[in-house]
Structures are given as structure tokens and as C-alpha cells.
Amino acid sequence: MQDGTKVKAAASPASFHREGKLRQHLEEAWERVRQMGDPRQDQPERSARQRQAQERAAREKLQRLGESLEELQKVRAEAAAGDPAECRVSESEAEARKMKQAVGGGFAPSYNLQLMTDAAQDIIVGVQVVQARNDQGQLEAGLEEVQRQNGAVPKQAVVDEGYLSRATVLAMDQRGVDLMGGGSLEDSGNSARSQQNGQQRGVSAEFYPPAFVYDAARDLYVCPLGQEVPHRGVKHDREGVQRHRYQAAPSLCRACPHQAQCCPVKAGQRVKGRMLVRTENVLVVAAYVEKMKTPEAQAVYRQRKRTAEFPNLWIKEKFGLRRFRVRGLVKATCEALWACLTYNLQQWVRLRWRTKLAAARAT
């Protein structure tokens, strides 16, 4: 079972800057280095340790700013849909990402700690510290980490709705992993989106998609006036779904007295016929949806919270790992590994020595 939690980075929210400010600070740091001159020649009164500390501080400052500018390019790639000029990174902890906090709200520089836990003994069998702001797409990486650490891929994986997507269902099917997940992959919002699109095009409410009756036996729709809207083709432009296209004959729509309310067109354009789209999950995804409706699957999923969330809670509450004490993704991962090793040792004591001690006392 896998679950993620956000752990704050060793940086302040005020350390996040845009590219212009980062380059300004980099130039100021170089200027300070130039003004310092050679500490070994210009400051003979300082000890060797003081000179080394001064050189190290200047070198680390320049290195951090350089890393921040490099990391800024990754942030821009991650936010392809947003404005690149508005992207920011921390000048003191470049690899951290600004993430929304579950406790207290707001945003803070953080990392995403992913823990993979064995459901049989509650032992952590995989640890990853990632920069992703949410859990989407992290299950595949988690399974690879479990395989690397343990030499085998688990037969079953249980995650919450944050991990769930059609792409994940297809990937788990290819790996031969039995996926159990929260949330729903049934396209319940399709009707609302269709109505919104129709409203924007000027379609009257009585001709919204729900007013059309689907005839599954003949695979076609019937409009409110009784005209047939036959199947015209299938699109596979979205992973895990098939989009069936239905369109009425243009001649029928042009002759219809309600054409302006059902399929309005702009002046000078020809009526092409009313079109509807029916979204359907592919067979693998549809089978997963039906499986998660069974009592057996729900019984397995109910174990997730106790097994998957408990280690995260223990590490934060008992060990106080709500904020990393070191900087950088590699060092943060090392700190997380120490915390998880401590957790596993405590579980080992519970599983092995307490049982033996209880047996010894009984005899």
C-alpha cells in the first residue's frame, strides 16, 4: 500500500524568486566575491579557519544561485500551461517545490515523501522523496522502487484517489499488478460539460444531450423530435477511453423547424447536423470500475488508511519529521531513509521481541 505526505523543506517561502531576482542576486554575490579579493593575501589577520569559512560561504552562495537558475528551467517545463515568467524557485533550496499544505493551509517549500508499506507486517518496503506536488503518476515509480529494494513486484497495490487515473489502471494491468484504488473513473461529469458546451453554442435547454435517448441495441441516439442520430466513428485521443461520435444527417437538421434551437450556426455557415459524443472506458478500465464495486475489493481498500497512512503519521508525530533538517533532494532522501529505518526497527521489536518476551513471562 502506498501513500504520500508533504514534508517542508529547509527553506523559507520568502526565498522563492523569479528569474530576474535570481540573476540580480547572483550578480550581487559575484560582486561581493570580487570585493573580497583574495582572503589569504588581503586579510592576513584572519586565521586559516576563518579564511576557509569565508571562501566556502561565498562558493556555496554562488553554487546555490546557479542551481536555482538551472532548476527554474525544470519548473517552467512542469508548468507548461502557465506563464513561464511567473515561475519561481528558492534560492536557498532549489530542488524544493512550493506545495499546498494540508494542515494550516497556505503554501510552503516542500518535498513529497512517498512510502510503500507491506500490508502483512506494516513494514516500510520502499521510500522515495520526490518533487511532484501531488500523487498522480507516483504509483509506477513506487513499484519500481519496491522492486529495486526487494527484488519483486507486489501482486497487489492499494492507493487512494490521488493516485488513480486511467493511465495508472492500464499501466498496472500491463505489469500484472492487481490495483485497488479510491475514487471513480466513471465519466460522471460528461453530461454537465456537454450542457455547458451546448449553452456556449446557443443550444436551447430542451435540446441538451440528456434530452437525446440512447438506443444501445442499435447504437444510436434519438432526438426529442424522433429523428435518429447514427454512429459515425470512434476517437482514441484520450488514454483509457473511447469517444463515440454520433451525427445526424445534415439534410434532416436543415429541414427541422427547431434547427436554430438544436444546432445553431453562425451567419453564412452551413448546418452540418447535430453531433453527440458518448465517452466509454476501454475494456481494462471498465473491468477495474466493476471490480471496485464488489464487496471483496471494498474490504481490501478499507485496510488502506490503517496500513498506508499510519507510517506517515508516526514519522511526523513521533519523530517530528515535519520539516527536513538538510537541504537538497539527495540529503532529504537520506534523512527520510533514517526515519523509515527507525520506524522499521520499532516494528521489528514489536513483531519479534515483544512476542518472545510475552511467551517467556507466560512460562
> pLDDT by residue (tens digit) across 148-201?
999 999 999 999 999 999 999 999 999 999 999 998 887 654 566 677 777 778
Label residue 11 exposed, middle or buried (CB < 10 Å: 0-12, 13-18, 19+): buried
The answer to whether the CB of 33 falls within 8 A of the CB of 62 is yes
- What are the extents of the domains in the chain? 19-87, 97-182+292-362, 190-283
Calculate mean pLDDT across residues 47-58: 70
Grouping H, G, I as helix, E, B as strand and the rest as coil, residue 183 is coil
CA atoms of 269 and 115, how far apart (whole Å)? 57
Per-chain mean pLDDT for the chain = 86
Yes or no: domain 97-182+292-362 corresponds to CATH 1.10.3470: no
pTM for this prediction = 0.77
What percent of the chain has a predicted confidence (pLDDT) above 90?
55
Q: How far is CA 97 from CA 7, 52, 129, 306, in A?
A: 11, 32, 12, 28
